Structure 1
Amino acid sequence: MSQFNDKVAPKDFAKMPPEYRDLLVRLLTIQADCEIGGPHIYVDHWTLRAPTVDDQWRVARIASEEIDHCRKMLRLLNLVDVDRSDILERPRSKREVDAFKEDMPTWADFAAFGFLIDKVGQYQLEEMVGSTFAAIDDTLPIILREEKGHVAYGEQQLQKLIESGTAGKEQAQAAISKWYGIGLDMFGKSGSSRTERYLEWGLKRRTNEEARRQYIAEMEPKIAALGLVVPDRLLGRKYL
């Protein structure tokens, strides 16, 4: 089939072929699950344990924004009469993406998560810009702006740790080494046949490997600029 470029309104969703409907529901469900997955990792541990009261406020604000992003994705699903509120009660072990099954025991973990994992989240959201499902474009601008803020805060906190001395730099390096491979895996398998279908239906803009390659090209210089060693791209990887 040639690439589908029409705009689909929520009222016309039921008229679309089953493949389109299934792919859109899957895409929005995974995004909603990821948005709520982060707060499930860090809210209990870091909201009142972050280094300063300003940091505690920022953790609470980030969590609030991520929950709102989940809410917005669930609302998009509701527009097509799909209820996936069950993801709110999912145990961490059942999350769609492995990054949200991890622990976050150090403040460096929180910082690296924001810097690396929220950056992947930004990439995944950018995939939906200009989607053939018209309602998405009304939702994305504020979410993307807030995600960029989370990434910037994570980078700022890594910089503070690095500047604090040898111990802080070692913690930052350990966290980057842990989360970098996890972030690369979030893009999924190279050569995914499902991704090709997303592209054909105008629900994504890049293949998994294209998005991952662009992420690597953007983030590895930033890791090096922090004075940290860029981790081995294959370390701990599950999806190549």
Structure 2
Amino acid sequence: MPQTLMKDVHDAAEACALGDEYVTALGKIINSHVRNEAAGAAVFDEPSIALAPTPREKWLACRMAMEEYGHHLKFNKLANELGLEDAQSRPPLSVFDYQVESWTGYVMTKAIVDLAEIVLMEDLCQCSYVPLRRLCRSLMPEERFHVGFGTTTAKQLAADPATREDMRSSAHRLITMTLPFFGRSDSRNNELFRRWGIKRLTNDEARTEFVRRTRVLLCDELGLDYPEVEPRWPGTTN
């Protein structure tokens, strides 16, 4: 792979001065977040408000929906500054096809899918584009709160025989559905991201870290088994 861009890019004007390749690569990352932050709020967080069993949990679900929509708006601001095409011209990631049908299922989306988002966002916290780097760093406390909520509540649910099997089946399905979240193993886009210093990790490295962390959650913290997964994903999309 050619030498990685080492300098900081401080604003949209500096990004555009580097040329279309940098802006296009950056735009793919930013627009993905524009789409997927809104999708997560709409298909995971909003339905959970009705499913939440207590007023406090409804309040927490409302808070997380609000924060996810806030993330969408903040990424969209970066997109507008760069003059990117409409992010909604492409569909959100396939993990958002998951149907939240129970409070347990929702809790596991926070513990698992939001953990995948943290793995990706941690990488972007070192991004060469300073506005994206700063935004990701500023959003990390909220993302960690979402995962912490999911993990803490999952531990409570795991202790109840009435919800344990629902938790296990939700976790297995979500882990399997989240693996493509990180992109193809042989992604040309990822090579471009790393060359321009937008990302550091390969897709497989990020996916392996997600598997490691979710294995700790399921096996060590919840006492559940882990689904058979492959850290490589030879999918057809980047």
Q: What's the TM-score once normalised by structure 2's chain length?
A: 0.90
Tell me the alpha carbon deviations over residues 199-234 of structure 1, each in whole angstroms, 9 at most, x when there is no partner: 000011100011111221222022102011111115
Corresponding residue for residue 111 of structure 1: 107
Q: For 2:149, give the aligned amino acid.
A: Y
Shift of 1:192: 1.5
Q: Does 1:10 align with 2:12?
A: yes
Identity %: 21
* Secondary structure at the counterpart of residue 135 of structure 1: helix
Match of 1:26 among 9, 18, 28: 28
Corresponding residue for residue 68 of structure 2: 66
Shift of 1:129: 1.3
Distance 1:170 1:132 in 2: 44
Shift of 1:74: 0.6
Q: What's the TM-score once normalised by structure 1's chain length?
A: 0.89
Gaps of 5+ in 2: none
Tell me the alpha carbon deviations over residues 57-99 of structure 1, each in whole angstroms, 9 at most, x when there is no partner: 0000001000111111011112223363x63xx8xxx633101
Determine if contact 1:118/1:147 at 8 Å carries over to the other structure.
Answer: yes
Determine if contact 2:46/2:62 at 8 Å carries over to the other structure.
Answer: no
How large is the RMSD of aligned CA atoms in angstroms? 2.0
Structure 1 stretches of 4+ with a deviation exceeding 4 A read none
Distance 1:164 1:156 in 2: 14
Determine if contact 2:119/2:209 at 8 Å carries over to the other structure.
Answer: no
Shift of 1:13: 2.4
Distance 1:153 1:17 in 2: 42
Shift of 1:174: 0.9
Count of residue correspondences: 232
Taking a change above 3 Å as real, the CA distance of residues 238 and 57 of structure 1, as seen in their structure-2 partners, is: farther
Gaps of 5+ in 1: none
Distance 1:105 1:5 in 2: 46
Shift of 1:2: 1.4
* Secondary structure at the counterpart of residue 127 of structure 1: helix
Determine if contact 2:36/2:92 at 8 Å carries over to the other structure.
Answer: yes
Determine if contact 1:95/1:101 at 8 Å carries over to the other structure.
Answer: no
* Secondary structure at the counterpart of residue 50 of structure 2: coil
Distance 2:178 2:208 in 1: 12
Shift of 1:152: 1.0
Alignment of 1:44-63 (within 5 A): 44-63=46-65
Q: For 2:50, give the aligned amino acid.
A: L
Corresponding residue for residue 143 of structure 1: 139
Tell me the alpha carbon deviations over residues 173-196 of structure 1, each in whole angstroms, 9 at most, x when there is no partner: 111111011122211111212211
Corresponding residue for residue 156 of structure 1: 152
